[in-house]
Each structure stands twice: as structure tokens, then as C-alpha cells.
Amino acid sequence: MAKCECCGKGVTFGIKVSHSHRRSNRTWKPNVRRVKAVVDGSPKYVYVCSRCLRAGKVTRAV
């Protein structure tokens, strides 16, 4: 579910490095919000990241 329906941003994988330099896998999830937006002229709930919301790529339905 951690995927933006507007830009397609999803989970990224990397390595967490501790102070003693022990390495373990970790994930970064995008800040996805469930938003009521206008899609194809009708209001619909979509999952959109906060960057797309701030940039105005999604028109909110009231």
C-alpha cells in the first residue's frame, strides 16, 4: 500500500549502519495519505504522497 498513485513513489531499500558499523537492511516508506480527490470528474479516495499534495498535482474533493 505504500505507493503513491500520482507519481508512483514506493518503498526504497538500503542498509542501516550503526555507530559500530554493523550493517542491516532497512526500508524507507513514502509519506502516503488517503485523500478524497477528483479523478476523471468524480470524487474518489486515492493514496497520494505528501509531496504530490503540496505540489498541487492532486485536486482535493470537498
Query: For 6-38, b where at least 16 C-beta lie within 10 A, e where not — what string?
Result: beebeeeeeeeeeeeeeeeeeeeebebeebebe
User: Given CA atoms 62, 44, 32, 59 in this order, what sign does their dihedral have?
Assistant: negative
The per-residue pLDDT for range 8-53, each reduced to its tens digit, is 999 999 999 999 999 999 999 999 999 999 999 999 999 999 999 9
* Whole-structure pTM value: 0.78
CA atoms of 5 and 41, how far apart (whole Å): 17
Q: Of 42, 55, 41, 43, which Cα lies nearest the Cα of 6?
A: 55
